[in-house]
Amino acid sequence: MRATVSALLTATFLLASVSGDGQQQNAAPAAAHMTRASRHHFLPATAENVQWGWYDPTEKPKLVINSGDTVSIETLSHSLGQIKPGTDMERIVELRKENDGGGPHSITGPIYVTGAEPGDTLEIHILRIVPKEDAFNFNLPGKEFPAVGLLASEFPEGFVRYYKLDLARMQTEFKPGIVIDLHPFPGTFAVGPDPNEPAAKAGPPIRDARGRTSTLRPWKNGSNMDLNELQAGATLYLPVFLPGALIWTGDSHCRQGNGEVNLTALECAYKEIEIRPVVRKDLKTDWPWAETSTDWIFMGYDEDLTQAMRIAVEQTVQWLATQHMVPMSREEAYALTSMVGDCRVTQVVDIRKGVHCMIPKHIFAGYQAAHVRDKL
């Protein structure tokens, strides 16, 4: 137990050393949740706990937790689980039209985190993901949905295929001769909507007459990010806009290539995605960012892919120029991003397109040395 707590405190101290101006922090607040007993919660995907395509911040929270608690969340596949093996394209089209303006996503929540206030950052540790056994991929008929999917006009009839997942091997067969490894991650992970989210530049309105926010687009509160790096072991950082943060997750994926070009990934559902949210009052961020064991990842979203790229690069440069592990000027940060930053197209099908830039941790000798000491 002493070794585990020591490792956690070392990691927290290290994170304090690499974050900089605009993301100032110290070890004590981040580690505060370790000083009291945390609880584990479970939120099942019941009819009252799952919404179809809309975030409603006025809805009563389905669960109230403390910072540092863990929670296992069950999820459903699209359209409240109505897309399942045997559902044909005609019914899929009907379901898409039934929820006009909202996303197809089934989202479980909201979860209220005690003490989270606007201006805080929610640090979300993704601890474990256990998929259910069924999955699918489809593209809608381009003749009816000409702007949905990158090559919609070339595929006028639509296409759907269902898959049975081998969870022991964490694989599925695409077709005889092609086997795909599973890498599950939440396509949609959100805190409560940004009240100042700009109006839609394309597609349906962002909010409906009831004030609910569509799950279609990614934004500063996360939402439909489709970032395939958010697998078990990753940590996601989201700015808090509403009291209690309000966590939702859904659009559960079991595999996705960068781009998600035909509209969907290997869509699935989870028996559980286990997370640990931590309220960070000492850490300020304007856009979502994440880290894995190997990289820091900075995101940008806009209807224009070039602008999304610009936002992601700006966030990367800002972080590098303000981290304390190896101080550098903005000019040096810009140069380093150009030399080692791996900027990838996250997705191009969510109206607001996404780009994420990855900075490898191994280039920081001090970071590596700290991890070596931690293992001794």
- pLDDT, tens digit, for every residue of 76-88? 999 999 999 999 9
In this prediction, residue 367 carries a pLDDT of 75
- Asked whether 228 and 70 are in contact (CB, 8 A), the reply is no
* pLDDT at 37 (0 to 100): 84
Rounded-to-integer distance, Cα 114 and Cα 224, Å = 24
Report whether CATH 3.10.270.10 matches the domain 2-375: no
Q: Identify the band that residue 352 occupies on the pLDDT scale cut at 50, 70 and 90.
A: very high
* 135: enclosing H helix or E strand: strand 134-139
Task: List the single range of 14-23, 175-184, 309-318 with lowest mean pLDDT.
Answer: 14-23
Evaluate if residue 137 carries a pLDDT over 90. Answer: yes
Beta bridge partners of 342: 358
β-bridge mates for residue 40, sequence order? 70
Q: Domain-by-domain residue ranges, the chain? A: 2-375
32 vs 370 pLDDT, higher one: 370
215-235 pLDDT, tens digit per residue, is 999 999 999 999 999 999 999
Nearest C-alpha neighbor of 324 from the set 119, 26, 10:
26
Other CB atoms within 10 Å distance of the CB of residue 332: 14
Question: Is a pLDDT exceeding 90 seen at residue 25?
Answer: no
Q: What is residue 214's predicted lDDT score, i.e. its pLDDT? A: 98
What pTM did the predictor assign? Answer: 0.91
| Residue linked to tokens 């940008």 | 300
What average pLDDT does range 178-197 have in this prediction? 98
8 Å CB contact between 70 and 22: no
Helix (H) / strand (E) containing 336: helix 330-340
Give the mean pLDDT of 207-221: 97
- The answer, yes or no, to whether residue 373 has pLDDT greater than 90, is no
Rounded to the nearest integer, the mean pLDDT of the chain is: 91
The single residue listed with the structure tokens 């505060």 is 32
pLDDT tens digits, one per residue of 303-319? 999 999 999 999 999 99
pLDDT value of residue 333: 98
Q: Distance between CA atoms of 315 and 326, rounded to whole angstroms?
A: 17
How much is the average pLDDT of 225-249? 98
Rounded distance between C-alpha atoms, residue 297 and residue 357, angstroms: 6
The pLDDT tens digits of the residues spanning 95-132 come to 999 999 999 999 999 999 999 999 999 999 999 999 99
